[in-house]
Amino acid sequence: MASASRVTPPSNNPKKKGSAPAPSPNRNFLVLGGLAVVGIAVIAFLVMRPKDVSIPANVTVLAADTAGFRGYILGSDSAPVEISEYADYQCPACGSFEILQFDVIKRQLIDSGLVRWRYRDFPLPQHPHARVAAHATACANDQGKYWELHRAIYDNQAAWSSLRSASDFFRDLAQQAGVELGAYDACMTSAKYAGRIEASVQEGGKLGVGSTPTFLIGGRLYPGVFSSDSLASLVRSMVPKPAP
Amino acid sequence: MNRRLAIAILALAGLFISLYLWLYKLGMIGTLACGTGGCETVQLSPQSRFLGVEVALIGVIGYVVILGLAMAAMTPRFEGLSWPIRVMPLVTGGAVLFTAYLKYLEFFVIHAICRWCVASAVIIAVIFVLSVLEWRRERAAA
């Protein structure tokens, strides 16, 4: 064969005979190129894999979506301080606030009449199940079971967050919370609260909410988690002291 | 494996980590693969932006620059103590300082640890060490 009898041309490599040959630049670029292809394939897979978003985000918000509704409220209408919490069911910080701080806040500030609490949905785009969770609680609210499902979803956040589809998980939680599943299923399938959830997101965005949880207290935004103690201090500083 | 190739491979790995976190911020990834949930706490915190720019995007740009320098240094035209080798310790040194600031924020302000950010911090620290070693070796040979 011609190739077998070919004479190897003299090398231009100035290195001494027997020394380890330097890797050729072409080989280096081939290695890099191969790794880049693998990395791009992984990223493309992550971007293109199906996500479980069954409640649309790109809805046109109608006046009827927001009429008479400005969040889920706990506490007295005559409370001197109102706190709006913009939160996302799939946000770990919101979950830890709900589980670790909210019970104390409810007991010390809401039940005592100092604070009226307003929960506003603010599902972030990077959380595929957050909008479904918000819609599930809205459907539970139709049956007077909002706060039961709200808490159950946060309590089990670690269990459903990494699921490919969380809809069945929320349905089970709704059932455990006492929600009648026929009406719940119809509500979820119709996605009738998609506009209301989006309205809440847009309202938060206009106020300047950019992360969750964010609290609106006395006209000021406070991003990040509050401890019950620091929130109580802030609230007490805002309550007018009775004249001596 | 020579140091310049090692720097390029590490920069490529860092680039993909930053790209992953940036695409997450853009809502294109879904949930982050992060066992502790700390990644999301960090990525959704107000500190995930620096001077109004996403930190993940800063990472993407930084790693592209380092990868470009490493690739330039691997071409025969830039053998020896060439400008990419002189510039690399400065760029990666700046990146290490910025990363140290981000680690401070994670530990003392956000109180959450993002594993992907830790991986990126280790990568940039190793790149910095390699780039200094390469610069010293070429300076001694020159």
Q: For B55-106, what is each residue's pLDDT tens digit?
A: 999 999 999 999 999 999 888 888 777 888 999 999 999 999 999 999 999 8
Asked if the model's pLDDT at residue A170 lies above 70, the reply is yes
Interval A86-106 mean pLDDT: 95
**In the structure, what pLDDT confidence band is assigned to residue A7 with cuts at 50, 70 and 90?**
very low
Residues of A in contact with B27 (CB under 8 A): 124-126
Calculate the CA A110 to chain-centre distance: 25
Q: Which of A43, A161, A224 sits opposite B20 (nearest CB)?
A: A43
Residue B30: its pLDDT value, please? 63
CATH architecture of A79-238: 3-Layer(aba) Sandwich (3.40)
What pLDDT does A20 receive? 47
CB within 8 Å of chain A, chain B residues 40-79: 40-41, 43-46, 48, 71, 74-76
- Residue labelled with tokens 């290490």: B96
| Contact partners, residue B49, CB within 8 Å, separation at least 6 | B55
CB A132 within 8 A of CB A89: no
What pLDDT is attached to residue A60? Answer: 65
- Give pLDDT, residue A12: 41
**B35 close to A (CB below 8 A):** no
Q: Do A23 and B28 touch (CB under 8 A)?
A: no
Contacts of A28 in chain B (CB under 8 A): 2, 4-5, 8, 74
Cis before A123 (ω within 30): no
Contact B46 A211 (CB under 8 A): yes
> Virtual CA dihedral for A53, A54, A56, A57, nearest 10 degrees?
-30
Please determine, for residue A110, whether its predicted confidence score (pLDDT) is greater than 50: yes
Task: Check if the beta carbon of residue B13 is closer than 8 Å to that of residue B71.
Answer: no
pLDDT of A166 reads 87
User: Would you place residue A178 in the very low, low, confident or very high pLDDT band (cuts 50, 70, 90)?
Assistant: very high
Are residues B95 and B128 in contact, defined by beta-carbon separation less than 8 angstroms? Answer: yes
The pLDDT of A110-131, averaged and rounded, is 93
% of chain A beyond a pLDDT of 90:
57
**B112 contact residues in A (CB cutoff 8 A):** 93
Task: Give residue for tokens 């991003």.
Answer: A223
Q: Classify domain B3-141 at the CATH class level.
A: mainly alpha
* pLDDT surpasses 80 at B41: no
Domains of chain A by residue range:
79-238
- Identify all chain B residues contacting A51, using CB atoms and an 8 Å cutoff: 30
Regarding predicted confidence, which is higher, B87 or A189?
A: B87
- The residues near A183 (Cβ < 8 Å, ≥ 6 apart) are A139, A142, A143
**What phi and psi values does residue A82 have, to the nearest 5 degrees?**
-115, 135
Interchain CB contact of A214 with B (< 8 Å)? no
Instruction: Please indicate whether, in this complex, the C-beta atoms of A46 and B30 are within 8 angstroms of each other.
Output: yes
